Amino acid sequence: MDDGAVDDRGRRQNDLHEDVVAIREYAKRYPDTWTGLKFDGDRLVVLFTDPDAHRHQIAALVAHPDRVDVRAAKRSEREVQAIVAKVADRLQSSAGRWFSYGPHLDVVSVELHGNAEDIARELHDRFGDAVDLTVGAHSFPFPDPPPPAPLIPAPQSTVRIDAAGLRAIPDSAVITMGETFAGQVEITNIGNDEQLVIDTDQPLLGHLLRGDHVVSVSPGPVAGTGQHVGLDPGERVTIPFFAGTDSLDLRTGPMLPPGGYQLVVDIPIHSFAGAQVREQLVTPPVPIDIVAAPEFRGEPDQV
C-alpha cells in the first residue's frame, strides 16, 4: 500500500473520531457485555457479546452508521481483564520465560520464550482459546507436522566505514538452551586522522547463524534509545546487545538445539558524517556454543 493510500485511510478513520467517543460513552452502560472496538480499513468494528441488543441504538447514535459494524465477541472486556489478572499471577514466578502479555479485544495475548512450552500448555489447558499463545516464533498449540523454517539470509553490512572497527563481545560464549543472553558491541575508530561520528541505537539485537542463515529469534520487544557515537582516532565505545536462543525452525523444537553457532549483531546507522542514511553495519561473527539445560540432561538444578 502506498503512502497516499495510507494517508487517505488515516483521514477516513479520523472522520470517525466523534463516533468512537460516542460509542465508548455508550458502552459504559454495558460493562458486562462490552468488549471493545477496532478499525477494519476505514470501517469501525464495535464488539459486544450480545451485538443484536446494540445495533439499533448505535446506528442512531453515530454520524456515520454506514461505516460502523456491530459484531459478536466471545468475551467482554471485564472477562478478559479477569483472565489477564490470572495470567499475570501465573507468570510472576517465571521470570525470563515470557516477555509480554495483555488484552487484545476478546482474547489475552501471551508471548513466551521457547523455554516455556510447559507454561503454554498449562495456560492453554486452563483457558483454551481465551489465550492467544506464542512460544518463541511459533503459535501454540504447535502445528502438526511443523512447517519448514523460513530461510533468512545472514545480515550483511550495507555501507563500508573503513574507520569503524567492530567486535561483538558476549558475556559468555557458552549459553544454556532457551536463554536470552547479552553482551557488548565494541566500536573503535581505527582510522588515522578523522573523528568517527555515527548515530545508532542502544541496546542492539544479535542473531545466531548456522552457515549463511539466521536460525534464532529476537528476544522480543526491547525498549531502547538513540546512541550517538563520536570517536577520535584510537578511541572506542561499547553498546549493549541482547540475543535470543529461540528457534525459527519448529522441526527442531521452539529452542535452538545444543551445538555450535555464530553470533552477529546489527548496528543500524541513522546518520553518518552528518548525512541522514538508512544503512547498517554487522559485526564479524563470533562462535557461540549452546548447551542443554539441566532438565534436558537428566541432571539436578544447581542450588
Predicted confidence (pLDDT) per residue in 249-276, tens digit: 999 999 999 999 999 999 999 998 778 8
- The confidence score (pLDDT) of residue 99 equals 87
Number of H helices, E strands in the chain: 6, 21
For the record, the C-alpha cell of 119 comes out as 507454561
DSSP-assigned letter for residue 154 = P
**Amino acid residing at 278:** R
Other beta carbons less than 10 A from residue 118's beta carbon: 13
Instruction: Write out the CATH class of domain 152-297.
Output: mainly beta
pLDDT above 60: residue 157: yes
Pick from 162, 155, 303: nearest CA to 243: 155
Q: Which residues pair with 290 in a beta bridge?
A: 175, 259
CB 225 within 8 Å of CB 232: no
Angle between helices 117-127 and 77-91 (to 10 degrees): 150
Look up the pTM and report it. 0.82
- Report the pLDDT value the prediction gives residue 299, as an integer from 0 to 100: 42
* Total number of residues shown for the chain: 303
> Does residue 18 have a pLDDT over 90?
yes
Residue extents of the structural domains in the chain: 28-73, 77-140, 152-297
Yes or no: say if 116 and 97 are a contact pair by the CB < 8 Å rule.
Answer: yes
Q: Give residue for cell 478499525.
A: 39
Give the pLDDT confidence score for residue 9 in this predicted structure.
72
Q: Which three cell numbers stand for residue 63?
A: 454520524
pLDDT band at 218 (very low <50, low <70, confident <90, very high): confident
What is residue 4's predicted lDDT score, i.e. its pLDDT? 56
Summarize pLDDT for 100-152 with one digit per residue, the tens.
Answer: 999 999 999 999 999 999 999 999 999 999 999 999 999 999 999 999 988 99
Architecture of domain 77-140: 2-Layer Sandwich (3.30)
Give the confidence band of 168 by pLDDT, cuts at 50, 70, 90: very high
Please state the rounded mean pLDDT for residues 13-28: 94
Say if residue 45's pLDDT is above 50.
Answer: yes
Question: Contact, 163 vs 194, CB < 8 A?
Answer: yes
Do 77-140 and 152-297 come out as alike in CATH topology?
A: no
Which tens digits make up the pLDDT trace of 73-106? 999 999 999 999 999 999 998 988 998 999 999 9
Distance between CA atoms of residues 210 and 149, nearest Å: 13
pLDDT at 87: 98
